[in-house]
Structure 1
Amino acid sequence: MKWMADIDIRGPQKGITYQDPIFLIGSCFTEHIGNKLQELKYSVCQNPHGILFDPISVCQSLVSYIEGRQYGPSDLFFYNELWQSWAHHSRFSGMDQGLVLQQINASQSRAAEFLRTAKWLIITLGSSYSYRLVQEGEKPVANCHRAPAQWFRKHLCTIDETVAALDNTLHRLFHGNPDLQVIFTVSPVRHLRDGVVENNRSKARLLEAVHHLVGKFNRLHYFPAYELVIDVLRDYRFYDIDLAHPNYQATSYVLEQFKTHYIEPAAQELMDKIQQIIHARRHKAFQPETQAHQHFLASFEKKTADLAETHPFLDLSEELAYFRNGKG
Structure 2
Amino acid sequence: MDFRTRVNIGSPGFAIPPFEQMLFVGSCFADNIGSRFLDYKFQATVNPYGVMYNPASILHTVRKTDAAPHVAVLTLGTNHVYILNSTGEIVDNCAKRPHHLFTERELTVDECFDYLSEAVDILVSRYAGVKVIVTVSPIRYAKYGFHGSALSKAVLLLAADRLVCRYPDIVVYFPAYEIVNDELRDYRFYAADMLHPSEQAVDYIWEVFSDTFFSDEAKRFVAEWQPVKKALEHKPFNPESEEYRLFMERTRQSIAKLETKYPDLAYSRE
Question: TM-score category by the smaller chain?
Answer: over 0.9
Q: Partners of 1:201 and 1:169 in 2: how far apart?
A: 23
* Correspondence for 1:163 among 113, 116, 122: 113
Tell me whether 1:186 sits opposite 2:136 in the alignment: yes
* Contact in 2 for aligned 1:41/1:315 (Cα 8 Å): no
More displaced stretch, 20-29 vs 146-155: 146-155
Letter of the aligned partner of 1:178 in structure 2? A
After TM superposition, give the deviation of residue 175 of structure 1 in Å: 2.6
In structure 2, distance between residues paired with 1:317 and 1:187 = 28
2:124 aligns with one of 171, 174, 198: 174
Corresponding residue of 1:23: 23
Q: Secondary structure at the match of 2:264?
A: coil
Correspondence for 1:13 = 13
Aligned equivalents of 2:119 and 2:236: distance in 1?
51
- Opposite residue 48 of structure 2, the aligned amino acid is P
The code of the aligned residue for 1:211 comes to D
Measured in 2, the distance between the counterparts of 1:60 and 1:296 equals: 46
Q: Identify the residue that residue 212 of structure 1 maps to in structure 2.
A: 162
1:147 and 2:107 are equivalent in the alignment = no
Please state whether the residue corresponding to 1:261 is helix, strand or coil.
helix
Distance in 1 separating the partners of 2:82 and 2:112: 14
**How many residues end up aligned between the 2 structures?**
269
Residue 134 of structure 2 aligns to a residue whose secondary structure is: strand
SS for the counterpart of 2:86 is helix
Tell me the alpha carbon deviations over residues 104-146 of structure 1, each in whole angstroms, 9 at most, x when there is no partner. Answer: xxxxxxx30x32xx1001100100111111122x211111223
Question: Cα distance 1:294–1:2, how it changes in 2: closer, same or farther (>3 A)?
Answer: same
Which residue is equivalent to 1:243?
A: 194
Q: Which amino acid aligns with 2:213?
A: Y
Cα deviation for residue 39 of structure 1 reads 1.0
Q: Is the contact between residue 20 and residue 43 of structure 2 (CA under 8 Å) also seen in structure 1?
A: yes
8 A Cα contact 2:22 2:45, kept in partner: yes
Matched, 1:233 2:184: yes
Specify the SS of the correspondent of 1:121.
strand
Q: 1:124 to 1:317 in 2, by over 3 A?
A: closer
Q: Give structure 1 regions of 4+ aligned residues with deviation exceeding 6 angstroms.
A: 316-319
Q: Distance in 2 between matches of 1:47 and 1:297?
A: 32
CA contact (8 A) 2:20 2:44 kept: no
In structure 1, C-alpha distance between the alignment counterparts of 2:251 and 2:130, rounded to whole Å: 37
One-letter identity of the residue aligned with 1:278: K
CA distance in 2, matches of 1:129, 1:149: 15
Tell me the distance in 2 between the aligned counterparts of 1:302 and 1:62: 39
Q: TM-score, normalised by structure 1?
A: 0.77
Provide the secondary structure at the position in 1 that maps to 2:266: coil
- Say which one has the larger Rg: 1
Map 1:57-206 → 2, pairs under 5 A? 57-63=57-63, 65=64, 111-112=65-66, 114-115=67-68, 118-136=69-87, 138-206=88-156
2:222 is matched with: 271
Give how far 1:147 is off.
Answer: 2.2
Q: CA deviation at 1:148?
A: 2.2
Q: SS where residue 188 of structure 1 aligns?
A: coil
2:73 & 2:11 partners in 1: Cα distance?
13
Secondary structure, in 3 states, of the residue corresponding to 1:154? Answer: strand
Structure-2-length-normalised TM-score: 0.92
Give the fraction of aligned pairs with identical amino acids, expressed as a percent.
Answer: 32
In angstroms, what is the RMSD of aligned CA positions?
2.1
User: How far did residue 55 of structure 1 move?
Assistant: 0.5
Paired AA for residue 98 in structure 2: P
Question: Which has the larger displacement, 167-176 or 300-309?
Answer: 167-176
Q: 1-side partners of 2:193 and 2:260: how far apart? A: 45
